[in-house]
Structure 1
Amino acid sequence: MSLAERLHANETIITAWSGVPDALTVEILAGQGFDAVTLDMQHGGHNEASVLRSIAPVLRAGKHSIVRVPVGRFDMASRALDFGAEAVIAPMVNSVEDARRFAAAMKYPPLGERSWGPTFAAPRHGSKDSVKWLKESNARTVSFAMVETHAAVAVLDGILETPGIDGIFLGPGDFSIAWTKGETINSTLEAMMETVADVGRRTRAAGKHAGIYVTDPRIAGRFVDMGYQVLATGSEHQLIAAGAAGLLADLKKSLG
C-alpha cells in the first residue's frame, strides 16, 4: 500500500528522521522498524543530491519516503516527488498563499501547476505506464503544510480548505517558541497542548491527515488520541546516542 492509502485507512505511521546526507546511513536507518524515513532539508544536512540518492534505499527497504524541504522551497517539493518521494513536508506555511504555492508545486494540472518529468519516480515505484502514473499521482502524493506559528493557526481553516493540501504537520518546537513569545523551547509544553489538540481535531474533521514531531515517545499515544497519524522521531543523533548509552551501560554493568 502507498503512504496515502495507509493514511486514508487511518493507520498510524512512524517515521524516522534523517539529517545525515549519506545514502549508506539512510539505508541502515531504513532497515530498522520504522514505517517511513523522512529526509530533512530544512534543519538536517540533506540536499538535492543526497535526497536523490537516499530515496532509493528507502524504497528498496519497502518503506515510505518523505522529504522536508527548506522554507519557501516549493520548487524542491516538485523535485522531491520527481525523485520518488511519496510525501513532502513544507515548513513555515503561515498563510493561505503559502499553502496555495505549495499545493501548486505538489499537484499536476488541473489541481496544481507541477510540470511533468518523473524520470526517477516512476521506475523507482515500478511504473511503466505514463498515463496511469499521471492520473494517479495527485492522489498518491501527500502534501503536509507545517503549522508552527500563531499566524498559521489563525488561518488554519483556510490552509485546510486549499485544494491540493492533504494534511498538516505540527512542529512543536517552533510552536512552543511562538507560544511563549521566544522565552523557551519545549516540545511538550503543557500550556500549548490544548491548541495542539485543536489543530489535530480540526485537521481530521476537514478530512485531512495530521502529523507531528515526537520528542518524548512516552506521550505518542496522547498525540494519536488528538488525531495525529504521522509520528516523526528517531534522528540518527538520537538513535546513536540511545544505542550507545544502552550498550555501554550493559558493558559496564558486566565489568562490575
Structure 2
Amino acid sequence: MTTETTPLLRNPVKEKLSRGEPVYSMTVRLVRTVDIASIARTAGFDSIYVDMEHSSFSLEAAGQICMACNSLGVTPLVRVPGLDASLIARVMDSGAMGIIVPGVQSADEARALVRAIKHAPWGERSLAGAAPQLHYQTLPADQVVRELDQASMAVAMIESRAGLEAAEAIAAVEGIDMLLVGASDLSVELGIAGEMDHPQVHDAFLHVIDSCRKNGKFVGIGGLGGRPDLIRKYQDLGAGFVSTGNDISMLSGAAAQKRKQFD
C-alpha cells in the first residue's frame, strides 16, 4: 500500500549510485525515435542522456525518448546547451529525470541549475500539474512536487579550468547530485587535447573525486569511452557514473567492424 512516505517515483540511477554500484550511460545524439530506449535497456545500460548540446535534437523528440525510458526502467537524463531556466523546465516537464549542464564554472551557476530543476523551497520551477514521470496521475500538488524533486538529478559538468578550481564549492551546493568530468573539453582547455592519460587530466579527476567525497556527491566520468582502462581506474577511486559513448560512435564502430569481416 502506497503512503506519503513511500515514493511512487523512483530513479534507478540515484538508487544504484547511493548503494555504491556502477552506473553505465549511453549518450544519444543521432536516434530520434523511442526505439533507442529499448535498445539501451536490452544492451544493459542503466541510463541514457539525450545530448541537446551537440545535436539538432528537438524538445519533442527528447521528451518522447524520456517517456519511453521511464516506462522501461532506464533513467533518462538530458544535457541542455546551457543554463536556460525556461528550457530546463520544459525538458523536465517533458519527462526527463535529470538535467546535465555543460561547463559549470561556479557555485552560483550550480545554484542556478538547482533553482531551474527544483520547485520551492529548493528552486523556482513552476508546477506544471500532472507529470509524465508519474504517468500523468492526478495527485495532490505537494506530493507531485515532493516526488519530482526527490527523484530528479542536477548534474554539473566540470570541463574548464574555472570549473575545476570551483569544484569543491560546486559540490557543496545543496541540490547538486553529481559532478560529471568532461574529459574531452577539459583536455582541450588544459592545452593537452585528447591526451586522456596526461597527469593534468588525472589530477583533475582526483580533485573532483575528493571534492565530491567531502560533500557526499556522486562523481561521473565523461569523455573516456575509448579508454576502459582509465574508466576502471577512476571507478576504483570513487567515480560511479560512466558515460560510455554516443550512438554515433557506437554505430560507426560496429559498422566498420562488420565491414572488415568481409575483407
- TM-score, length basis structure 1: 0.88
Amino acid at match of 1:148: E
2:73 aligned partner, one-letter code: G
Work out the CA distance in 2 between the residues paired with 1:44 and 1:164: 28
1:14 aligns with 2:24: yes
One of 91, 110, 124 as aligned partner of 1:113: 124
1:240 aligns with 2:251: yes
Q: Secondary structure at the match of 1:23?
A: coil
Instruction: Say whether 1:198 aligns with 2:207.
Output: yes
Partner in structure 2 of residue 52 of structure 1: 63
1:98 aligns with 2:109: yes
Say whether 1:33 aligns with 2:34.
no
Distance 1:122 1:35 in 2: 17
Distance in 1 (CA, whole Å) between partners of 2:14 and 2:33 is 24
Distance apart, 1:120 and its partner CA: 4.2
Contact 1:94–1:147 (CA<8 Å) still a contact in 2?
yes
The residue type paired with residue 161 of structure 2 is H
- What is the rounded CA distance, in whole Å, between the counterparts of 1:11 and 1:197 in structure 2? 19
CA distance in 1: counterparts of 2:230 and 2:194, whole angstroms:
17
The CA deviation at 1:119 is 4.0
CA distance in 2, matches of 1:121, 1:189: 43
CA gap of 1:68–1:191, structure 2 versus 1, over 3 A, is same
Cα deviation, 1:204-226, whole Å, max 9, x if unaligned, reads: 22101111212322322112123
Question: What does residue 23 of structure 1 align with?
Answer: 33
Moved over 4 A (4+): none
Distance (Å, rounded) in 2 between the aligned partners of 1:13 and 1:67: 16
Partner of 2:6: none
Sequence identity of aligned pairs in percent?
23
| Runs of 5+ unmatched residues, structure 2 | 1-9
CA distance in 1, matches of 2:33, 2:154: 24
Paired residue type of 1:56: M
Equivalent-residue separation in structure 2 for 1:188 and 1:55 (angstroms): 34
1:74 Cα offset (Å): 3.2
Q: Compute the displacement of 1:72 (Å).
A: 2.4
Q: 1:246 to 1:6 in 2, by over 3 A?
A: same
Deviations 1:120-143 (A, max 9, x none): 42443x754343232232221110
Residue 24 of structure 1 deviates from its aligned partner by: 4.2
Q: Aligned-pair distance for 1:192? A: 2.0
The one-letter code of the counterpart of 2:21 is E
Q: TM-score, normalised by structure 2?
A: 0.86
Aligned equivalents of 1:4, 1:101: Cα separation in 2: 21
SS in structure 2 at match of 1:117? coil
Q: Secondary structure of the equivalent of 1:228?
A: coil
- Please name the residue that 2:97 is paired with: 86
| Kept after mapping to 1: 8 A contact 2:32/2:61 | yes
Structure 1 position 118, deviation (Å): 4.8
> Quick one: distance in 1 between partners of 2:92 and 2:233?
31
Offset, 1:28: 5.2
Structure 1 Cα separation of the partners of residues 39 and 85 of structure 2: 26
